[in-house]
Amino acid sequence: MASAEGENQSTPKQEEKPKIEPLRLPTMEEIRGQDIWNNCAVRSVVSGVMGGGLGLFMGLFLGALDNPIMQEEMTGRQQFIYTAKQMGRRSINSAKAFAVMGLVFSAAECIVEKARAKHDTTNIVVAGCVTGGTISARGGPKAACAGCAGFAAFSVLIEKFFDRHD
């Protein structure tokens, strides 16, 4: 075993040099794509559509899990119809809620980011507060304040979980 260690020490380690790659300028298509995505309206609409799609699938899934109250007295066809209706109702409601959340959050974050010219956690807090307040505004001022605080805290937790900012 001593001879194996001696052999390892006698051979010098070769450090691998990192490969240097030449800089590549972005193409006009890439620049246009970045310009389009930097538009707050485009970003908000895309986020709203994606949020609506997510809500649609969540509604389908959660609606399928609903059991009728009088399940024992219903035929298989009645249970199927009930489940299909529940899935439809849940899908539409979830799609609307998630679309509004995505649109409002993305718009608020983009506007605050452009106004402050910074990309940091403060933008997330403000966007979360605006979103939570908007969603719960129908419940009155207390509900809007609670929604603001709750959604802001949730947004920061999600942001820290994904650690988007270094």
Tens digits of per-residue pLDDT, 123-166? 999 999 999 999 999 999 999 999 999 999 999 999 899 875 44
Per the domain annotation, does 34 fall within a domain? no
Q: Which two tokens stand for residue 106?
A: 């993305």
Per the domain annotation, does 9 fall within a domain? no
Per the domain annotation, does 111 fall within a domain? no
pLDDT given at position 134: 94
Per the domain annotation, does 24 fall within a domain? no
Per the domain annotation, does 52 fall within a domain? yes
Q: Which residue has the tokens 């070769």?
A: 14
For 52-106, the pLDDT digits (tens) are 999 999 999 888 887 777 778 888 898 888 888 889 999 999 999 999 999 999 9
Structure letter (DSSP) for residue 16:
P
**pLDDT of 16 higher than 90:** no
pLDDT given at position 99: 97
**pLDDT of 17 higher than 70:** yes
Per the domain annotation, does 2 fall within a domain? no
Task: Centre a 10 Å sphere on the Cβ of residue 151 and count the other Cβ atoms it contains.
Answer: 24
Per the domain annotation, does 4 fall within a domain? no
* 123 and 94 in a common domain: no
Mark which of 54, 79, 104 sits at the end of a domain: 104
**Alpha helix ranges (H) inside the chain:** 2-10, 28-37, 40-65, 76-116, 121-135, 141-162
Name the phi and psi angles at 69, rounded to 5.
-65, -40
* 99 and 122 in a common domain: no
Q: Which amino acid is at 120?
A: D
Q: What is the pTM of this model?
A: 0.74
